[in-house]
Amino acid sequence: MKAIRQGDVILLPVEQVDGQKKLDLILAEGEVTGHKHKISEGEAELYEKNGTLYLRVFLSDIALLTHEEHQAIPIPQGNWIVKIQREYEPEGWRYVAD
The tens-digit pLDDT sequence of the chain (98 residues) is 799 988 888 999 999 999 999 999 999 886 666 778 899 888 999 999 999 999 999 876 678 999 877 789 999 999 999 998 655 456 654 445 54
Domain of 67, in residue numbers: 4-95
Contact 45, 55 (CB under 8 A): yes
Residue 94, pLDDT score: 45
- How many structural domains is the chain composed of? 1
Sign of CA dihedral 19, 13, 31, 6: negative
Q: What pLDDT sits at residue 28?
A: 86
The structure's pTM equals: 0.80
Write phi, then psi, for 59 (nearest 5 degrees): -55, -35
